Amino acid sequence: MTTALLLKCLGIGVLSGVVAALCGVGGGVVMVPAFVALLALPQKTAVATSLAIIIPTALMATTQNARHGLVDWRVAVVTAVSASVFAYFGSGWMRAMSNESLTRIFGAVLLVFGARMLWLGKA
């Protein structure tokens, strides 16, 4: 790994860690576009890499939030089970898509939720 690549990865990690902890977005909202734009990763590789990174970052943030009683474990457990099952299927669908289609879907999801939050003040 070159020094330039190392520094880019560290910068992306710092930004995504802070955004994930503040906004609960898992960091993928920052990492995926950054991996594509700054590291020239294909969209599929950016998504898969982001998902691998989210595991330790989510664990660290959850540990802190749980210590302060901020996690609703009933909601977390039920949602985690359904999300985990369908993430398995979603990764299969992702592999079948082109990078271009996946990029457009990702962008559309960000736009829809971002616009809703900006205009309504809630997700």
Whether 15 contacts 34, CB under 8 Å:
yes
**Per-chain mean pLDDT for the chain:** 90
- The percentage of residues in the chain with a pLDDT greater than 90, rounded to a whole number, is 65
* Selected residue with higher pLDDT from 106 and 3: 3
Angle at 96 between CA 105 and CA 25, to 5 degrees: 40
Q: Give the DSSP H/E element, type plus range, for residue 58.
A: helix 43-67
pLDDT of residue 77: 96
pLDDT at 108 over 80: yes
Which pLDDT band holds residue 7 (cuts at 50, 70, 90)? very high
pLDDT digits (tens, 9 = 90+) for 97-106: 999 999 999 8
Helices (H) and strands (E) in the chain, counts: 5, 0
- The percentage of residues in the chain with a pLDDT greater than 70, rounded to a whole number, is 97
Which pLDDT band holds residue 123 (cuts at 50, 70, 90)? low
pLDDT digits (tens, 9 = 90+) for 24-55: 776 788 899 999 999 999 999 999 999 998 88
